Amino acid sequence: MNKAPVPERNTLSMQSLPGFRDFLPDDCARRNYLFARWREVARRYGFVEWEGPPLEATELYKKKSGAEIVEQLFNFTDKGEREVALRPELTPTLARVVAAHEREFKKPLKWFSVGQFFRYEKQQRGRLREHFQLNCDIVGEKDLAADIELVALCIDILRGFGLSSTDVVVRISDRQAWHRFLAGYEIPEERISEFLDIIDKLDRRGANETKKRVEAIGVDWYSVEAMLETSAFPEDFSTGLNHVISGLHARGFEDWIKRDFSLVRGLAYYTGIVFEVFDRAGKFRAIAGGGRYDNLIAQLSDGALSLPALGFAMGDVVLGELINEISRARETMQKSIANDRKLDIYMVIAKEERRADALAQIQQLRDCGYRVDYPLTPTKVARQFQSAEDLGARVALLYGDEWPQVAMKNLASGEQKLISSDDLLSGVEFIVR
């Protein structure tokens, strides 16, 4: 007798790939809350929204993002034999788009964007293989007033989430200060970025290892240490930073910022003021980071266009973790989400003969912009009222024996009255709006 064929085991995993997330409705609500605040505050600062493609030529990142990001690329050869990569960040795309469309816009450009980014990182707390970022960039302004405006925007976004200067700190530095410091050492240009990279990894490697590497480049470790002690840093090395810091003080953001020369930022294209946002407790990875990149547009366009630029990006992962941690911020988020989700009206169909009448009125109410729901199939009245409550409806409309009158119940006060179905819109408006 022939054996029945053994069914092939379905090996497809029901889990998402490592470092990728499924967004269930609650996750989506939290994500959309972040997006809504991001957009609201960026617009308050006069920024306009734009977007680039999620896939770019790999070359775009090889040219200027820096070794670390290139190692983390999700890249492949497409069916047309092109070397392409999912975008790990927005800044190179922005530089490319500005180089292509610059003439169409008055300067300075103040652009923001909300989108998803991909980095093949080791999955750990605060670092995934996809994340969303808000990017805010100013292009075409070399005055430090733009740096002040940008950091102020970053702080105001954090405030928009109910965070305060006791929760987070903006560490701020100036790459130019290190260039001035190194001027005394006659170090070749390419070793300067190597030096900055060493300083960037100080926290990760510790002082001993950093000392060795700094000395290998021919720089005196003890002067570096003195520089890192910000109080000992000679004022004239950082006039730009002093100006930016006093501008932020003038706006009332004194408590939010900390001068910190150990910060240089990992990305290779920064040229001036750089900053990064961290939680005060030091529990999480960076929430946001950015700075000035005055040469990137010229470098990517092979000198065809040169425009000063600066910007920052704030990620959704660490920000979400921090909001969850700080009760004030968490409650603000929960309230906003609950409010956003609330249904205006639930239609209770007490008699199935009235379903057609109820549906005709649902259409009218939805056309007026109300959020309305009802049971798709015959359901006990008590269960319908339960659904109305679960969905946070403000009004229940009951279609039953009283037709052509409808019982209208204010679910907050419990008050109920009969209204003519012809007066439904004004009756509902009185309670809901």
**Footprint of ligand HAM on this chain (CB under 6 A)?**
89-91, 119, 121, 127-128, 131, 133, 135, 137, 267, 286-290, 311-313, 315, 317-318
Q: Give the residue carrying structure tokens 């960026």.
A: 42
Confirm if 172 and 273 have CB atoms less than 8 A apart.
yes
Q: Give the residue carrying structure tokens 């617009």.
A: 43
- Distance (Å, rounded) from C-alpha 223 to C-alpha 239? 19
Confirm if 395 and 409 have CB atoms less than 8 A apart.
yes
Least CB distance to ligand HAM at residue 149 (A): 14
Confirm if 151 and 291 have CB atoms less than 8 A apart.
no
Task: Please provide the distance, in angstroms rounded to a whole number, between the alpha carbons at the two ends of the chain.
Answer: 75
Alpha-carbon Rg of the chain, whole angstroms?
28
37/394 with CB nearer ligand HAM: 37
Least CB distance to ligand HAM at residue 30 (A): 15
Least CB distance to ligand HAM at residue 129 (A): 7
Least CB distance to ligand HAM at residue 343 (A): 34
CA atoms within 13 A on the CB side of 366: 11
Least CB distance to ligand HAM at residue 182 (A): 23
Residue 398: how many other CB atoms lie within 10 Å = 25
The letter for the amino acid at 291 is G
75/421 with CB nearer ligand HAM: 75
- Distance (Å, rounded) from C-alpha 175 to C-alpha 195? 11
Burial of 10 (0-12, 13-18, 19+ CB in 10 A): exposed
214/314 with CB nearer ligand HAM: 314
- Distance (Å, rounded) from C-alpha 255 to C-alpha 343? 41
Q: Give the residue carrying structure tokens 């109300």.
A: 370
277/358 with CB nearer ligand HAM: 277
309/408 with CB nearer ligand HAM: 309
Least CB distance to ligand HAM at residue 321 (A): 10
Residue 36: how many other CB atoms lie within 10 Å = 14
137/344 with CB nearer ligand HAM: 137
Least CB distance to ligand HAM at residue 296 (A): 9
268/372 with CB nearer ligand HAM: 268
253/275 with CB nearer ligand HAM: 275
What is the helix (H) or strand (E) element at residue 206, kind and residue range? none
Least CB distance to ligand HAM at residue 382 (A): 46
279/344 with CB nearer ligand HAM: 279
The closest residue (CB) to ligand HAM is: 315
Least CB distance to ligand HAM at residue 57 (A): 17
Residue 431: how many other CB atoms lie within 10 Å = 17
Give Cα separations from 317 to 113, 125, 171, 346, 419 (angstroms): 17, 9, 19, 35, 49
